[in-house]
């Protein structure tokens, strides 16, 4: 089938592997290749693997490149390079730097006549859509985002940097009682740190002072100090057995009143067994949209706010109106 959407993957970490899996679930797509900085033979996959330095050989053979590296370093280098030659999708999630990143990619893609969707995924991404929808429909209201239960990579990294900590993970968990109040349309006005708990599972080096480690975690500014934080010390075996998954999820809830004082709630929530595999599934659906919009001549940088949701589907507008509306 030559009319399938031809996808390339750049980077083969958790998101890259998830994207490879997600493409195989969409019959209108094919994976042309995985581009890596590593030695191609070293990647454990049956897909076609190409060294990233040979990317330009695929200039006319790929419709959309999905950039699967991390926001901290990879995407900032690889997306500018890739959007010179390809339509792109990425999951840049450094919220504070999005405006600057958008402008940079927009300039490049406008020059190359390509289309680049930045910051797709679920947050930023689907959660952003839910926030926008809630605030636009119920302007007299309040919007809440709860994250979890899920592993926060940033917080897990922070724990692991503490002296004497061998390994560890951190779960972000919404406070049940606050979540319940919000769902009941009660007016809750507290900072995000009071809406979440943090639970840590820590493996220590032998002979370390557990009290010191617990105190260092609980007093860490920004990360833990303002939160209800629980620290559990466990064995390495237990960590590997019970905490080797990457679940996540959360809730975006808009509550508000219409002018007669009728109360309304709009809720969007996710429960994910695998954060990277779900994120990848979002990227793949949005790659379809990017392909369609690029065919229509759209170029530059866009975000999920700019995409009609119908473009996510492989069905025609007529089918969607008949089957889903």
Q: H-helix or E-strand containing 287?
A: helix 275-295
Residue 121: how many other CB atoms lie within 10 Å: 25
Which ranges in 96-205 belong to alpha helices (H)? 98-112, 126-137, 153-160, 176-183
Name the residue nearer to a copy of itself (CB basis): 90 or 214. 90
Q: Which of 195, 199, 123 is nearest to 155 (CA)?
A: 199
CB of 229 to a copy of itself, least distance (A): 27
Describe the strand order of the beta sheet including 87-89 as a list of residue ranges: 49-51, 29-36, 5-10, 64-67, 87-89, 115-117, 300-302
Q: Are 42 and 98 in contact (CB under 8 A)?
A: no
Binding site for a copy of itself (CB under 8 A): 18, 21-22, 24-26, 95, 98-99, 102, 119, 124, 126, 128-129, 131-133, 135-140, 185, 249, 258-260, 262-274, 277-278, 280-282, 285, 288, 303-310, 312-314, 317-318, 320-322, 324-325
CB of 39 to a copy of itself, least distance (A): 25
Q: Are 14 and 246 in contact (CB under 8 A)?
A: yes
CB of 75 to a copy of itself, least distance (A): 15
CB of 140 to a copy of itself, least distance (A): 5
Name the residue nearer to a copy of itself (CB basis): 139 or 191. 139
Q: Which residues share a beta bridge with 66?
A: 9, 89
Name the residue nearer to a copy of itself (CB basis): 79 or 213. 79
CB of 193 to a copy of itself, least distance (A): 20
Name the residue nearer to a copy of itself (CB basis): 12 or 224. 12
All residues at 6 or more sequence positions from 242 whose CB lies less than 8 Å from its CB, including other chains: 201
Annotate 65-124 with DSSP letters as a single string. Answer: EEE-S-TTTHHHHHHHHHTTTSEEE-----GGGHHHHHHHHHHHHHHHT-EEE-S-SBTT
Name the residue nearer to a copy of itself (CB basis): 215 or 316. 316
Name the residue nearer to a copy of itself (CB basis): 198 or 288. 288
CB of 249 to a copy of itself, least distance (A): 8
CA separation for the pair 316, 325 (Å, rounded)? 13
Name the residue nearer to a copy of itself (CB basis): 100 or 209. 100
All residues at 6 or more sequence positions from 316 whose CB lies less than 8 Å from its CB, including other chains: none
CB of 27 to a copy of itself, least distance (A): 8
CB of 201 to a copy of itself, least distance (A): 21
CB of 178 to a copy of itself, least distance (A): 17
Q: Which of 236, 235, 229 is nearest to 199 (CA)?
A: 229
Name the residue nearer to a copy of itself (CB basis): 87 or 281. 281
Name the residue nearer to a copy of itself (CB basis): 219 or 314. 314
Q: H-helix or E-strand containing 36?
A: strand 29-36
């Amino acid at each position: 089938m030559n009319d399938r959407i031809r996808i390339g993957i750049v980077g083969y970490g958790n998101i890259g592997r998830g994207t490879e899996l997600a493409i195989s679930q969409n019959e209108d797509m094919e994976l042309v290749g995985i581009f890596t900085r590593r030695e191609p033979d070293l990647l454990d996959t049956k897909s076609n693997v190409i060294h990233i330095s040979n990317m330009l050989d695929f200039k006319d053979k790929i419709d959309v490149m999905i950039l699967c590296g991390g926001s901290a370093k990879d995407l900032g280098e690889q997306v500018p390079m890739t959007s010179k030659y390809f339509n792109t999708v990425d999951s840049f999630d450094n919220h504070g730097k999005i405006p600057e990143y958008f402008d940079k990619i927009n300039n490049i893609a406008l020059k190359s006549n390509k289309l680049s969707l930045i910051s797709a995924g679920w947050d930023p991404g689907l959660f952003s859509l839910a926030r926008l929808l809630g605030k636009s429909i119920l302007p007299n209201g309040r919007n809440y985002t709860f994250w979890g239960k899920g592993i926060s990579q940033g917080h897990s990294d922070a724990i692991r940097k503490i002296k004497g900590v061998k390994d560890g993970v951190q779960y972000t968990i919404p406070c049940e009682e606050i979540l319940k109040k919000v769902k009941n349309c009660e007016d809750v006005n507290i900072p995000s740190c009071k809406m979440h708990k943090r639970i840590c599972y820590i493996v220590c080096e032998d002979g370390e002072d557990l009290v010191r480690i617990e105190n260092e975690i609980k007093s860490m500014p920004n990360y833990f100090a303002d939160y209800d934080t629980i620290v559990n010390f466990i064995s390495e075996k237990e960590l590997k057995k019970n905490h080797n998954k990457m679940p996540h999820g959360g809730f975006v809830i808009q509550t508000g009143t219409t002018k007669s004082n009728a109360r309304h709630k709009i809720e969007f929530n996710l429960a994910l067994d695998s954060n990277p595999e779900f994120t990848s599934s979002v990227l793949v659906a949005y790659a379809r949209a990017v392909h369609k919009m690029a065919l229509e001549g759209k170029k530059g940088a866009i975000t999920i706010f700019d995409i009609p949701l119908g473009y996510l589907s492989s069905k025609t507008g007529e089918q969607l109106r008949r089957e889903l509306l």
